[in-house]
Amino acid sequence: MKILFIGGTGIISTAISERLLAQGHELWLLTRGTRKGLLPGVRELTCDIRDEAGAAKLLEGQTFDAVADFIAFRPEEAERDFRLFAGKTRQYIFISSASAYQKPSVLLPLTESTPLVNPYWDYSRQKAACEELLLRHFREDGFPVTIVRPSHTYCERKMPVALHGEKGSWQVLARMLAGKPVVIHGDGSSLWTLTHSRDFALGFCGLVGNAHALGQAVQITSDESLTWNQIYGVIADALGVPLRAVHAPSSLLASAGTAWGYDFEGGLLGDKAASVLFDNTKLKRLVPGFAARTRFDQGAREAAAYLLAHPELQQRDEKFDRFCDAVCAGLEAARRTIADAAGEGVS
């Protein structure tokens, strides 16, 4: 098949690209050209997709068996893709997000019919609006859309954590390695699902060119669920160090983070603070034999080894480090104040 990816160099898309190339497909990437030469065998188109006129000229005369956009986040961007690719592709795949599901959900496990209602995170609401627009074009114009909903997907280059600063997750690992306390939201008992990018690619590639997936929304996740305490414990084990966990209410982290310039409300209250379990029955019906093959302890060991061997990925984040120290100190001060107040109240 002749396949076009818009984007195609991120955590999710890179694993998919590698798998499609290995299967012998003709893969094209439309990117701004800032990360050239990452995948041998791929054909590159250099253009900023936001320049619709330029993209239309570049794509003139081209048709594809499938097009997937990994960097469309708002309805106007989805509408632009409809204008660009209507009549030019047999399948258009929109990468949405499982964070768009109702938060907190009133019914688990989550399925594709779970309402898309997230009052905490604009990112999630915009993804849901994109889905609504594209499905309307499917119904009214025959636009061959497939919607894919990933949850928390990771790879060897990025260890998954719940809370981090602008520079990614390394600072959390650095704190573990230094024997410093690590902040975990809530009491750490909420359930979460992590999916390795290789497993996501397995499900995604089974949907590419799949006529039964047209007009459908499909979530792709692992079936493994862990508490956040377990997740952080697995990461510490992979690094070979003990875990020193400090638990803080998610609402406190969200409000305190604002003063530091962080927007934690969406990522915590609108996503990771809520327990999630996924029912992948629909995916397994569309892609017979699909099964996530990488347990998180396996993936964490792989990521730890890779990150420790690549210093260029170890991005220090002093601001986030100070934030964590401030949270730990504040919680300890609050504990002491409450304990002192109890003593003062004894007559």
The answer as to whether 341 is a domain residue is: no
Q: How far is CA 269 from CA 162, 208, 303, in A?
A: 11, 33, 27
The answer as to whether 230 is a domain residue is: yes
The answer as to whether 276 is a domain residue is: yes
DSSP-assigned letter for residue 162:
S
The answer as to whether 344 is a domain residue is: no
Query: Whole-model pTM?
Result: 0.94
The answer as to whether 184 is a domain residue is: yes
The answer as to whether 339 is a domain residue is: no
The answer as to whether 316 is a domain residue is: yes
Q: How far apart are CA 131 and CA 148, in angstroms?
A: 10
Instruction: Residue 301: give its domain's CATH number.
Output: 3.40.50.720
Cβ-Cβ contacts under 8 Å for 338 (sequence gap 6 or more):
none
For residue 11, how far is the Cα from the chain centroid? 9
The answer as to whether 245 is a domain residue is: yes
pLDDT at 35: 66
- The residue written with tokens 């939201």 in the block is 185
Task: Tally the domains of the chain.
Answer: 1
Q: Across the chain, how many H-helices and E-strands are there?
A: 11, 12
Q: How far apart are CA 222 and CA 227, in angstroms?
A: 14
- The residue written with tokens 């609401």 in the block is 125
pLDDT at 32: 84
Q: Three-state DSSP class for 226?
A: strand
Q: Are strands 191-196 and 225-227 parallel, antiparallel or unpaired?
A: antiparallel
Q: What range does the domain containing 289 cover?
A: 2-332
pLDDT by residue for the chain (347 residues), tens digit each? 999 999 877 889 999 999 999 999 999 999 887 665 568 889 999 999 999 999 999 999 999 999 999 999 999 999 999 999 999 999 999 999 999 999 988 899 999 999 999 999 999 999 999 999 999 999 999 999 999 999 999 999 999 999 999 999 999 999 999 999 999 999 999 999 999 999 999 999 999 999 999 999 999 999 999 999 999 999 999 999 999 999 999 999 999 999 999 999 999 999 999 999 999 999 999 999 999 999 999 999 999 999 999 999 999 999 999 999 999 999 999 999 999 998 766 54
- The residue written with tokens 């609006």 in the block is 129
Angle in degrees, 0-180, between the axes of helices 250-259 and 318-344, rounded to the nearest 10: 120
Task: Answer for the pair 284, 290: CB distance below 8 angstroms, yes or no.
Answer: yes
Q: Is the dihedral of CA 61, 138, 134, 276 positive or negative?
A: negative
DSSP 278-326: B--HHHHHHSTT------HHHHHHHHHHHHHH-GGG----HHHHHHHHH
Task: Answer for the pair 127, 151: CB distance below 8 angstroms, yes or no.
Answer: no
Task: Answer for the pair 172, 317: CB distance below 8 angstroms, yes or no.
Answer: no
